[in-house]
Each structure stands twice: as structure tokens, then as C-alpha cells.
A and B are shown apart, each in its own frame.
Chain A
């Protein structure tokens, strides 16, 4: 424990004094989110999105400027109409449709349906506050920032230590690999949670995004997610001795992860293999779970499958990372 604390303290000092890395850790996610908030401040996509239950054989299907999305679960689809994520939802079999009475684009899509001979459809009104893209994006960007900080922060430090002989020097002391690695993990975890909380509060003050769930649940998901991704960083760094190779591998993991975890756009409707791969990525579970908590007010039980997945990944990566670790 004494040894663990000694290394933890040294690592924290080192990080706090590394001004460049520290300011980057805060600036990057904040700037990213502010940038998006500006870009999407008039928040509308040009296309209208219409959900279809089953098959639609109707002239309306020929309409231009409409993105038809086939949906299966009617309840989820209705929730999307409430959130303004779908402008219109059509059930062709039972000749009915749903529209959000407070959504202007819902109104336009409804008029287009009627104009193309859809007068026979029965109207169902729902209501609900719009979820802006930025609301949807916040959990994703926080998660993504966590991932970069975990993978690059931990991997590079360890590889650099190994390359320049710091690890060898430590190997010459009674310090064990597990103690050393745990200190690295805890130091990084504290940092990530601190940065994420600060960025969260800062962005909340400026952007006033939605948060319907419990902060404790969100914190738990972020903690587990950070741990899983830090452990992945450890695994990558367990043997490498070259910065370049470490950078290459870390990029090869983090960039696809960023694209395939639904940070920027929803993966709904993507091919099955993409959905499958995305489920193997820790970031997907962080983003999905935190989104469910923040936007739907989901409880821990609702997101328990994500939590189980994160714990399993964390344990697997940790086990392998410690097992494969070499000082030299």
C-alpha cells in the first residue's frame, strides 16, 4: 500500500506539472462541444425523417426530401416522435400515423403525407420536448474524451517509461507490477473523472443540456467506462517499447471506436456486422448507458446489460494487461 501510494503520488505530481497535457485534457472536449453547439445552434437537418412500421406501398413513399426509416418496435418509435427524432411515424397496415403537435417539421411531413393521398390515415397526436442534437451529443463526447484520455494517457506513459528505462529502475525496487499498474490506473481514473465532471458542469452552464436521470448512476457508468478503457490502454502498453508502434495501435483502436460507438451519429439502421462490432467496444456501452440515463432518465437496472458488459471488459483487459506486462 505504501509503495502504491508513493507511485500514485509521483504520477499525480508529474501529471499536474505537465501543463501542456493538462490543459489539453480540459480544452479539447470543451472546445469540441462548444464547436458543435455553434454548428447546430439552428439545429435542423434538412431532411424529414419518417418512420415506417413494416412495408409502405403508397405514393407518399415517392416523396423527395424524406428519409424513410423502417422501424420494428412501435413504442420506441413513438418515443422518438415525442423527442422530435422522427418527424412522423406511419403504420401502413392499420392506416394510422403519429405526429408531434409541437414539431414544425412534423407538421410539414404530415401535410406532405396528406398531399400525396394519405388522407385515409388516422392521426395520433403525441407531445414532448425536442431533444436537440447537442443533448444527444454530450454523453457521446464525454465518453469519447474519456476514451482518448484513457488510451493515450496510460499507454504512452507506460511505453515511454519502458523505453527510457524508468520501468527498469522501478523493477530494481520491491515494487510489484500489480502495484505499479494499479497506481497508474487510479491516477488516470481520478484525472478522467475530474476532467469529465468539470467539462460537464462547464457545458451545462453554457448549453443547458437535458439530464433526466440520476447523477449517481451517470457517475457509476462513467467510472466503470473509464476503468474498462484504461485497462484496454494498459493491455496495449503491456509490452510495447516503441512510441510509434504504440501510437499506431492506439489510433487503430481509438478512431474506429470513436466512429463505431455512436458518438456522433446513431448506429441505428446500420448493417448488422457494424452493430455487432460496436457491441464489443467499451465506448458503445458507456455512450448508450449514459445517453439512456441522461435523455430517458433510465435507472441502473435499465442499463444493467451495459454495466455488466463494461465490468466484464474491464476484468478481461485488466487480467490480460497484468499478465502480459513486462518491465523491459
Chain B
């Protein structure tokens, strides 16, 4: 597949603060490209440079092989992280306003239906719920029938149900072959939607690839979880000094704040039989896969949302 957008050693400084530090990547046509990272990682700055809204300190962005220029505005769709719309306009009027700004537009009725806007089309756009508002902003981003759409944290602040609804809309857009660049703080969102992700921290890309591949690369073990109170004292002692007890096969153990002990292991069978031998009650035992959240923690030593 060919790349539709190419970012070449992008750097952006705000005074002494380096928001984006020499990053490069390519986005393939039709894929959903995820950008993850904690607050202040540089996601928005990078996205706005790609959109042509912010001028980079150095580096280039190429769309279909050519540097982005003013015309790119006609070809891309944008949903900003923070935005406001004209006061006193209804949703329908706002859509018409934006439709009036582009030479080529999507069919409005179709767009309204795809983004589920029917029920509040005539409401003042300041009086929408969070989910309604994000859906309207998505419709505006799609109004020029763009080949590439930038969505900066479109689901932040939505409740789980609204978030899942929004995912369906995004999947619908992807199914039409539109390229999407999506930033998010939610790992499950990236895992659900994205073909490829970059994880950013302090202006750097610290990991890049398809979500599953990234997890396989970094983790070949699984987590066995037991509540700390269900463990006999002796086992706790053993787990705390793993080197002295080679008979339990595990790579690391961590005592979580929430009262759970997590044993990371490459051989679940062996770990469990060791626990049984120690007389541990397995009624509360959980086994889970490593996820992107763990990956982030592993890479940066901190959580994604602190």
C-alpha cells in the first residue's frame, strides 16, 4: 500500500519548550493511524502541523508526495480537540455554513444520517450533549468528503456508550476507504480502531507499529493476578524475593495499589501448579493479556492518564 501522508523530521519549539522533537512517520492510504500519549506528549501539535494549522520549526509534511499547501485545506477534514462554533446557529445551519466554505461537499442528508444528527438538527449548537457535539464536529470534518480526516481526541469526555457509538461512526468512515488520523488516551480505542499506532512521549515517538505486533514485540508473557489477601504469608515472602525461590517460574511480580499481586509469566501452567503446591486459593485468580496500557507503562514508567 502507498503512503498518503509522510512526515519528515518534524520539530516544533514553543520558546524553550520542545513540543515535538524530530519525529518521522508515514501513514498508509485507507488506514486508521492512532496517536497515543499522555497529556503534553505533542499529539495535538503534531496533528495541527500535519493539518497545516501550525507551522513547524523544522521538517516537512507531504500529502501524496507533495508538500502540503493551502489547497490541502480543501482536501482534508479536521476535528479539533478544542473548538467552538458560531453562536446562535442550529446544527443544520452550522453544517450549511461549513458546506458553503468548500468547493466540493458530501451529500448533507446522507452525512446527517451517517452521523446520527437527525434528532437534534434544529437545536442551537451550544445546547448539545457531549456525544451530540462530537458527532456534529465529525460531520463538519466530513463535510467536504475528504480523503483524509484528522480527529484529535474525539471521544475524550464521552461516556462508554457514547464512545462505542462514536467508534461505529469511525468504522463506517473507514469502510469507505477514508484515511483517519486519530489521537486518543484510550488504549482500548486504539486497539479497536487502529491499524497502526505511534506512542508519543515528550515530543518523541517511543513505539510504532500495529497494536498487536507492538504487544507481541514487547511482551511474550501473561499476567496471573491474585488478590494479596488470598495469598498465604509464606507465599508472599517467596514472591517478594523471587531469586531465592527458583521453583516458582515467573519473571516479575508486582504488588499493585489496588491490593492485587500480578505475576508475569511465560508459562501459565507452571505458575499455577506452583501456586497450588503452595496452597493458594485459586478462586479469585485472573489471567490477562498485556495491553497497550502496560506497554506504555513499560516504555515510559508512567500511566497514560495521570
Contact = CB atoms under 8 A, between A and B. Distances in A.
Given A10-B93, A165-B80, A168-B80, A173 B85 contact: no
Interface string A12-54: 0110011000000000000000000000000000000000000
Interface in B52-108: 53, 70, 73-74, 78, 80, 82-89, 93-94, 96-103
Interface in B128-170: 140
B51 interface: yes
A5 B96 CA distance: 11
Nearest to A164: B84
A171 B99 CA distance: 14
A192 interface: no
A168 B83 contact: yes
Contacts of A72: none
Interface residues of A, number: 24
A43 to B, nearest CB: 43
A173 B101 contact: yes
B100 A172 contact: no
Contacts of B83: 165-166, 168-169
A166 B97 contact: no
Interface in A134-166: 161, 164-166
Interface residues of B, number: 26
A14 B88 contact: yes
Nearest to B140: A169
B88 A13 contact: yes
A182 B73 CA distance: 20
Given A6-B100, A17-B88, A174 B80 contact: no
Contacts of B99: 6
A165 B101 contact: no
Nearest to B78: A172
A172 B232 CA distance: 61
Contacts of B86: 10-11, 14, 161, 166
Contacts of B89: 10, 13-14
- Of B70, B74, B102, most A-chain CB atoms within 10 Å: B102
A165 B84 contact: yes
Contacts of A13: 88-89, 93
Contacts of A169: 78, 80, 83-85, 140
Given A13-B93, A172-B73, A174-B70, A3 B88 contact: no
A13 B125 CA distance: 13
Contact of A165 (B82, B87, B100): B82
Interface in A162-197: 164-166, 168-175
Given A13-B88, A14-B89, A18-B88, A168 B53 contact: yes
A173 B98 contact: yes
A172 B88 contact: no
A64 interface: no
B97 A172 contact: no
B51 A172 contact: yes
Nearest to B96: A6
Contacts of B93: 10, 13
A172 B101 CA distance: 10
A6 B80 contact: no
B97 A174 contact: no
Interface of A: 2-3, 5-7, 9-11, 13-14, 17-18, 161, 164-166, 168-175
27 contacts: A6-B100, A6-B101, A7-B97, A10-B86, A11-B86, A13-B89, A14-B86, A14-B87, A14-B88, A14-B89, A17-B88, A18-B88, A165-B80, A165-B82, A166-B85, A168-B53, A168-B80, A168-B83, A169-B85, A171-B53, A172-B51, A172-B53, A172-B73, A172-B78, A173-B98, A174-B74, A174-B101
Given A2-B100, A10-B93, 14 more contacts: A6-B97, A7-B100, A9-B100, A10-B94, A10-B97, A11-B86, A13-B93, A18-B88, A165-B83, A166-B85, A170-B101, A172-B78, A173-B101, A174-B102
Nearest first, the 7 closest Cβ-Cβ pairs linking A and B are: A6-B100, A17-B88, A164-B84, A172-B78, A173-B101, A14-B88, A10-B97
